Amino acid sequence: MKFAAFDLEIAKAFPDGGHWKDSAPLGITCAALALSDADEPRFFHAAPQLSRAACGELVRELQRVVNDGYTLVTWNGTAFDFAVLAEESDLPRECAELALAHVDLMLIVTFKRGHYLGLQKALLGAGITGKLQAVTLNDGTRLYEMSGKHAPELWAKGEYNAVLSYLREDVMPLLQLANIVWQTKQIRWTSNQGKPAALAVEKLWCVRECFAFPLPDTAWMKTEPAQREKFVEWMPPLDGYFPPPAPAQRDVRELPLFAYAAESAYWRAFRAALRAHKEQRK
């Protein structure tokens, strides 16, 4: 199987614990696309940030890669990377279609287990060296504990090599992880309590397929379970993209993603259910 790992960095940071949409538009400073049959990723970058036209070309490149037979892989790309790219490129339909057809490894864990999982834990669980946490700045000093939240400020200061190095060490290990999960059919990590954990992954389900998973038992969780609709609330209607509806309506969290989008009446009901569900949770 041929894999293509995708990730991006934003131009504007948002507060820890906050939703990125509250700080939008974020802008995209750089993105990386790593192919399993290439030694180095391809970068898309500009200062201060990618133009709308450049973001559109990035979308078209992702489409070309998929059409060439690569399986596109991200870690939480459904809720973030593709959502940001949709806004910055003004191509929400194209980004939604890419997101639904790609493999989001974190989403698989979240939909199967009900909780989020950091990429670092999954990498270490697979025996892969963790994400890059130290970068060299233009003056030769080293910045330790590097993370995505530092990338916007560093890019604005002209520390392009540092940010691109960090981005490279996101997509290349992710490429390794995808291959390991495909071969071993599992994602492994260590829990916050220090216990080994694993999830069986019989196949690399695309995002659309994940919405058919039964809701997991989350009674054991002390925090609120992840809500599936949050991953896709940015997406526009995709009429004709999905199969005919199942006969019975279910709880909004159980709905196969936009399975009824071809029927506008159901689409309206789906959106109404989302809004009602959000109001109930306030």
- What's 16's domain CATH number? 3.30.420.10
Closest CA to 74 of 164, 169, 174: 174
Q: Does 257 reside within a domain?
A: no
pTM: 0.82
**Is the pLDDT reported for residue 109 higher than 50?**
yes
Q: Does 66 reside within a domain?
A: yes
- The residues that bridge with 83 in the sheet, in sequence order, are none
Rounded-to-integer distance, Cα 164 and Cα 33, Å: 12
Q: Does 57 reside within a domain?
A: yes
- The better pLDDT of the pair 227, 278 is held by 227
Q: Does 282 reside within a domain?
A: no
pLDDT at 101: 94
Q: Does 246 reside within a domain?
A: no
- The residues that bridge with 235 in the sheet, in sequence order, are none
Q: Does 270 reside within a domain?
A: no
**Is the pLDDT reported for residue 269 higher than 60?**
no
Residue pair 107/73 in contact (Cβ under 8 Å)? The answer is no
Please name the amino acid found at residue 199: L
| Residue-range definition of the domain harbouring residue 154 | 3-236
pLDDT at 85: 97
> Structurally, how many domains does the chain consist of?
1
Rounded-to-integer distance, Cα 242 and Cα 207, Å: 13
pLDDT at 260: 36
Tell me the three-class secondary structure of 144-155, residue by residue: ECCCHHHHHHHH
Q: Does 201 reside within a domain?
A: yes
- The better pLDDT of the pair 265, 102 is held by 102
Residue pair 225/113 in contact (Cβ under 8 Å)? The answer is no
**Is the pLDDT reported for residue 282 higher than 90?**
no
pLDDT at 45: 96
**Is the pLDDT reported for residue 6 higher than 50?**
yes
Q: Does 244 reside within a domain?
A: no
**Is the pLDDT reported for residue 224 higher than 70?**
yes
Tokens of 144: 């330790």
- The better pLDDT of the pair 13, 274 is held by 13
Q: Which residues contact 167 (CB under 8 A, 6 or more apart)?
A: 7, 8, 9, 30, 31, 32, 41, 43, 151
Give the end-to-end CA distance of the chain in Å, rounded to a whole number: 44
Rounded-to-integer distance, Cα 137 and Cα 25, Å: 27
**Is the pLDDT reported for residue 274 higher than 80?**
no
